[in-house]
Amino acid sequence: MLKRSPLDRSVSFRNQLPRVERGWLAGQLSKLPGIATALCDCDGVDDLMRASVVLGRERLGFVRMGIWLLDDDGACATGTFGVDMEGKVIDERGERIFDNSGYIRDMMEAWRRSPHYFEKPIDSLRAADSAVVGRGVRITVPLMAKAEIFGFISVDDLIDTESVNDRAGPLLCQFAQVVSSAYQMRKMQDELERSRQQVSEAERVQSEFLGMMGHEVRTPLNAMMGYAQLLKSRAVGGEIEGIAQTIEESGRHMKGLIDSVLEYSHLSSGDVKRWYKPGDPLDVLRSTVQSFEEMYRGKGLVLDFCFEGRHVPVHFDAVSLRQVVSNLLQNAFKFTERGGAQVRVFSRIEPDATEFFIEVKDTGIGIEEAHQRKIFEPFRQVSGERGRNLGGIGMGLAIVKRLVVAMDGEIACRSVLNEGTVFTIDLKFDNVTEADPSGPGDVPIRDRASSRVLIVDDDETNLEVLQSMAKCLGFVNTDHARNGLEARDLLAEHPYDIVLLDVQMPRMDGLSLTRIVRSGEVCPINREVPIVGVTAYTSKHDREECLMVGMNDYLPKPVMLDSLRRVLDLA
């Protein structure tokens, strides 16, 4: 658009505008809903302004139109898009109008008195070099939001058009309201998107920091707990076994605290449904309860499991379900001194899904009614001084809540002080509609002494611990490498029965080495060798990444003897 000349107040303009029939305005106004719909589909503010000019020309007949945005004090207007003297839509975002003549000030004062249109007939319209290119009628209307003027739309008749007439002002006012509403909506959407990106970035930074923190803590913890387990296995009875037991229990407690913080962080933006796989939740629930039986017996507590319903394969995340029940059983164990706990499961099969009702009941100290509304908040200890004396950082139930919600489920709690607590969970999973291919049959376990194991870790202490733990389990034929390049060379020369591979290493990490091995180009003799990732990064994403590159299993640090025995039996 062109720069405006000073307002000539000496001209009476009303009789200068061509008159049109009364029905013209009604016909033009009927086009505004379609214009509003089209503007809602614009991708951004710039796209919106360009579309407004184009639609104003094509549908309303305003051949020459421009849209300008005002700065905070109204002393300057910035261009968006307009129409040149040849009738082409042009980009005017680099144009500025400074209100040296007071033209913008006069318009804003008139609009504040009565928000309407501002006409100036027989006006001198100037080009960017201030040359007068013609005299004609100009109509200007404000763009307003929350009773504040943030810009204006201007049309003129330097190119012949029937739309600049005595009814154009009211039409242009309605058009400006449509543009203003679309502009404000677009601004709000852009602001929401910026906020979302900021939150996403903050979560990413937090996740990276906590992942790094977990890695740095787990690495020395792996050595401490590994040596404690070895010491306990060799010192049967006496003071040394007691010391080793204390070290191991303290390490387990620290590991649990780290796991709780990291798990809660990963859940803040994760979607557990992407980990859904076909399976039977009952098998997961039963094995989870069985894994706690020895711990409960050691405290003199009873742990029961019962199920009513039918076995049915569904799509679910076994890891998340196991985490939910494990946290509830750990919580019951911590706060129960007599009696014990019971896990009851009921299933109800529907045509497309199966609903599972899980009840975890204990005879512990209970929860005060005033605290029951807060039990799922992170970092909450809700059982008073008795609860705080039992340790923990109050993350277990917060993780349970997030996991259940992530699986579109519900969880509730009822409790009586000094009598016990009952947690009820309601989950629904889609049924498996087609038979999944059966997995491989049981593979006979080789003689451990003859199995050749390659252990790869860049930390000397962890390397020694893993070798000692493997020998403790009967795997005495072990080789070692301190980085991916050394391991690659060994794999190219010698056949191995299994590889324990640190994921995070300098020079070549475990993921890269696994890709090379599976390609068969460098290490053809070990192309199918079982590879177990050993890492201090323990999120579901890390686990999935290990499996995607071709690893057979995943072993989190600190490594426990039972877990190591399980994966070494893949050899």
d(CA 122, CA 120): 7
Residue 387 pLDDT grade (very low, low, confident, very high; cuts 50, 70, 90): very low
CB 42 within 8 A of CB 53: no
Q: What is the arithmetic mean of pLDDT over 343-371?
A: 90
Per-residue pLDDT at 213: 67
* Res 444 pLDDT > 50: no
> pTM score, two decimals?
0.45
Residue 94 pLDDT grade (very low, low, confident, very high; cuts 50, 70, 90): confident
What residues have CB less than 8 Å from 4, skipping those under 6 apart? 97, 103, 123, 125, 126, 138, 154
Q: What is the arithmetic mean of pLDDT over 38-55?
A: 91
d(CA 479, CA 464): 11
517-544 pLDDT per residue, tens: 999 888 888 989 999 998 877 666 777 8
499-510 pLDDT per residue, tens: 999 988 888 999
* Res 14 pLDDT > 60: no
CB 229 within 8 A of CB 469: yes
Residue 2 pLDDT grade (very low, low, confident, very high; cuts 50, 70, 90): very low
Residue 340 pLDDT grade (very low, low, confident, very high; cuts 50, 70, 90): very high
Cα-flanking dihedrals φ and ψ of residue 153, to 5°? -110, 135
Per-residue pLDDT at 454: 94
Per-residue pLDDT at 265: 57
Question: Which carries the bigger pLDDT value, residue 263 or residue 204?
Answer: 204
Q: What is the CB neighbour count within 10 angstroms for residue 68?
A: 25
What's the per-residue H, E or C state across 257-304?
Answer: HHHHHHHHHHHCCCCHHHHCEEECHHHHHHHHHHHHHHHHHHCCCEEE
Bridge-based pairing state of the strands 410-416 and 340-349: unpaired
